[in-house]
Amino acid sequence: MKKGLTFVYAVHGNLYINLTNKCPCACTFCIRRNGDGAYGSDSLWLEREPTVEEVLAAVAEFSPDSYGDIVFCGYGEPMERADDVAFIGKELKNRYNKKIRLNTNGLGDRINGRSVASLLEGAVDVVSVSLNAGCSAEYNKVTRPKWEDGFDVMLAFAEDCKKYVPQVMFTVVDVISKEEIEKCRALSEKMDIPLRVRPYDS
């Protein structure tokens, strides 16, 4: 595995922040299983995690005004560094007129041992939570989280985010069955959170 110091990278006209490689899941479809980068980026495996100052400097080097959204995504779970997501997000909102999105597995509460959705207020505009399945048993098969009750933790976080963030959405990757996607759709409707079915390669 090749490691580097790619803290920020550009894909599809957006800027992506790579804060950490830590993640409590082992998703069957995780792009980390297929290589070292994402969509032509340099290796996203980190020699070390960036400081918040390094992230802000790396974003500035890209001239963000030439890009669309700024996304916390990375090659790991950004909410492993929940306080830093909040700090960086607020700082980016002060500096740039950009939509800030957090892509998350939704397990930040369990990772941090406290409720973290409120940290996102004023720091991100959109939270995109990986739903991945329509029930706990299937979720555990696909996402393989450290915790048996990960599905419920994720749903509670998504619900909580509605209080603090203007837009909350669920995503599923289209590698799961049509029946499972329909179960996800029903759950999304019940929770009043829009669902995006994402092609595996986007």
Return residues touching ligand SF4 (CB under 6 A).
Answer: 23, 25-27, 30, 32, 76-77, 105
- Residue 146 CB, shortest distance to ligand SF4, in Å, is 11
- Residue 83 CB, shortest distance to ligand SF4, in Å, is 19
Q: Biggest alpha carbon distance in the chain?
A: 45
Measured from the CB atom, is 86 or 154 closer to ligand SF4? 154
Q: Are 102 and 69 in contact (CB under 8 A)?
A: no
**What does the alpha-carbon distance between residue 91 and residue 98 come to, in Å, rounded to a whole number?**
11
- Residue 94 CB, shortest distance to ligand SF4, in Å, is 28
Measured from the CB atom, is 32 or 90 closer to ligand SF4? 32
| Phi-psi map region of 169: left, alpha, beta (phi>0 left; psi -120 to 50 alpha) | beta
Side by side, which strands form the sheet with 100-104? 8-11, 14-17, 70-72, 100-104, 126-130, 167-173, 195-198
Beta strand 100-104 with 70-72 is parallel
Measured from the CB atom, is 7 or 64 closer to ligand SF4? 7
- Residue 77 CB, shortest distance to ligand SF4, in Å, is 6
Measured from the CB atom, is 10 or 30 closer to ligand SF4? 30
